């Protein structure tokens, strides 16, 4: 996807602060962090969002979450952190390449806004 900013970040065409990478996923610092830890974990495969994911994507959806858990552990955030998928514009999804937000490093209120 040439017009997808997250695909362009994976290709290195748009700079990002890489946090983690493996065969299936890429993780980088959010440009506009909402907490001391705010990392985006994305699949290398372009998937528009969770509601567009299919059964064949089950492993990659899980891998994104496991990558987030690994990063949280590396950052010492195991006391509490949150993984969030905003699904659709009504929930605040603004980039249509599926991404898991890893948010932590501060007290997180519930329910989220």
Contact footprint for Zn ion (CB under 5 A): 1, 4, 6-7, 46, 97
99 a catalytic residue: yes
Structure tokens at 85: 């998928």
Which residues have CB under 8 Å from 94's CB, separation 6+? 86
Torsion-angle region of 88 (φ positive above 0: left; ψ -120 to 50: alpha; else: beta): left
| Minimum distance, C-beta of residue 18 to ligand 5GP, in the bound complex (Å) | 10
44 binds, among ligand 5GP, Zn ion, none (CB under 5 to 8 A by kind): none
**Integer Cα distance of 42 and 61 in angstroms:** 9
Q: Does 86 bind ligand 5GP (CB under 6 A)?
A: yes
In three-state secondary structure terms, 56 is helix
| Minimum distance, C-beta of residue 77 to ligand 5GP, in the bound complex (Å) | 18
Nearer to ligand 5GP, 48 or 55 (CB): 48
**Catalytic residue IDs:** 99
């Amino acid at each position: 996807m040439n017009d997808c900013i997250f695909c362009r970040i994976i290709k290195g065409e748009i700079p990002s602060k890489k946090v983690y990478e493996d065969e299936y996923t890429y993780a980088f610092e959010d440009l506009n962090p909402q907490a001391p830890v705010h990392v985006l974990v994305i699949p290398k495969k372009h998937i528009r969002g969770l509601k567009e994911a299919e059964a064949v994507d089950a492993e990659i959806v899980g891998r994104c979450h496991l990558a987030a858990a690994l990063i949280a552990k590396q950052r010492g955030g195991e006391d509490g952190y949150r993984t969030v998928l905003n699904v659709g514009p009504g929930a605040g999804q603004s980039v249509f390449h599926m991404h898991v937000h890893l948010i932590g490093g501060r007290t997180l209120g519930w329910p989220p806004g």
